[in-house]
Amino acid sequence: MSSQPSSSGLQIDVTLNSVFASRKRNLENEKAGQQSVLPSTFQVYTKIDEESRKDNKMVISFLLTLNDTKGLVTYEFRGICNVTGTSADFESVMETNKNSRVPKILDILYQKLYPAMFMLAGMTTSSYPQSIALLTDMVASEPIPVRQEMVAVAQGGQEKAESSPSPAPKEVKPTPAKPAFTRVADGKTFKPKSITDRTPFVEQKKESKTTT
């Protein structure tokens, strides 16, 4: 994502390192068949760090998180922004407007990432920010927790969250082996013969009946 150089020579290139989208299930809408991509109100939190500034190039790392006010949809973008220009351009990009607390670089990042938000909304059948421009009341002062809810449907139509703790399996204690049975007769100890030991005796008995 890059912008055309301005008359002053300012150019801004955005490279995404990771993209995250999460949508919580709305069973009422799913049953009614009302799943659709609609605009909604979002809160935006950003973390911007200047990594380096040398000659006519400034490198900025950013984290941009968007969460709708209903708490159903979350988007997160991480990446690098390369700004090419003069020292005056750098100061202009990083400063905050007097009439708002939104830095200019944040508004630029939001507008550059807006097409990606719309694309993710279509892929996940989720809502998207209704405002193309970043408004002051959309900016959150605290980080927005990013959560991904996975729901498993159990038998009977009941739903159980995958994150719910499952009961620990019962410990199976080993059963001590019983000693082999012995019998004592005339002072001698005899062990019971195995099946293989008794088989020849049975066959011999059958043969004796046949000969009789």
How many Cβ atoms sit within 10 Å of the Cβ of residue 67? 21
More confident of the two residues 131 and 183: 131
Enumerate the domain spans of the chain: 11-153
Element housing 11 (H / E):
strand 11-23
Q: Would you state the structure tokens that stand for residue 80, as one six-digit string? A: 């690098």
Rounded distance between C-alpha atoms, residue 32 and residue 30, angstroms: 5
What's the pLDDT tens digit per position in 3-48?
655 556 899 999 999 999 999 877 766 676 666 788 899 999 999 9
What confidence tens digit (pLDDT) does each residue in 89-101 have? 999 999 987 777 7
187 secondary structure, DSSP code: T
Residues 6 or more apart whose Cβ sits within 8 Å of residue 87: none
Check: pTM over 0.85? Answer yes or no.
no
| CA–CA separation, 76 and 81 (whole Å) | 16
CA distance 172 to 151: 31
Q: Please name the helix (run of DSSP H) or strand (run of DSSP E) that holds residue 129, with its range, or none.
A: strand 128-129
Give the tokens for residue 209.
């009946």
CA distance 60 to 201: 91
Please report the sign of the dihedral spanned by the C-alpha atoms of residue 85, residue 132, residue 107, residue 81.
Answer: negative
For the 11-153 domain, the top CATH level (class) is alpha beta
Q: Is the pLDDT of residue 84 over 80?
A: yes
Per-residue model confidence as pLDDT tens digits over 152-194: 333 344 444 444 455 555 665 666 555 554 454 455 555 555 4
- pLDDT per residue over 55-64, tens digit each? 899 999 999 9
